[in-house]
Amino acid sequence: MTPRIPKADIPADVRDAMIRRIGAVPEPAEVLWHHPRLARDNDELAARVAAWDAVDAGLKTLTHMVVAARIGCSWCLDINYFLALHQELDAAKAGQVPRWRTSDAFTPLEREVFAYAEAMSSTPPEVTDAMSAGLLERLGPAALVELTVSIGFANMAARANIAHGVTSQGFAAACEVPPAEDAAGPVCDVTSAV
């Protein structure tokens, strides 16, 4: 599918930086670049959200995938699977995120976080006092605040991508999981798929 808004021309230095960072220019960035200040602010916000450290980065990546699956953002699933592999998360586990309720790959805490993410991603939100209290007890206030804002950011990104018509770009398809005996880890060459 082609985005509903044509891709804008991004300055060469910005394109090159994106390619160095993830191997390709993300389609959401090409759409957002019609408003360069907004595009730069969005990129900066995404980097800041990723840099917060009260919640494990891997858990936040998997949670972003839960949000993407709930809302239906194939681009978000695609890029977050790619990011999960670069964070050296278990590829099989990351692949189970859309089926987290029925998969035995996840810990009780992950399940609790994923339920909270889905509840936040519902319209209207379905977060309960019990959900918040359980996570507050397990994570503490700073981590729960960070988790909540991270999920809110994931919702913003996913909903914008869907509205703009941005779909999977091939990041996940570029990731090959090596045989179990190969300790080298996943191989992701996004440039070959995009």
pLDDT tens, 55-114?
999 999 999 999 999 999 999 999 998 888 888 898 889 989 989 999 999 999 999 999
Task: Identify the residue whose tokens are 């930086």.
Answer: 17
What domains can you pick out in the chain, each with its CATH number?
A: 53-176 (1.20.1290.10)
Share in percent of the chain as helix, strand, coil (round to 5): 65, 0, 35
pLDDT tens track for 146-164: 999 999 999 999 999 999 9
- Look at residue 155 and give its three-state secondary structure: helix
Rounded Cα gap, residues 63 and 119, in angstroms = 12
What is the DSSP-derived secondary structure letter of residue 188? E
pTM metric for this prediction = 0.87
Q: How many CB atoms lie within 10 A of CB 43?
A: 18
Question: Mean pLDDT across the chain, nearest whole number?
Answer: 89
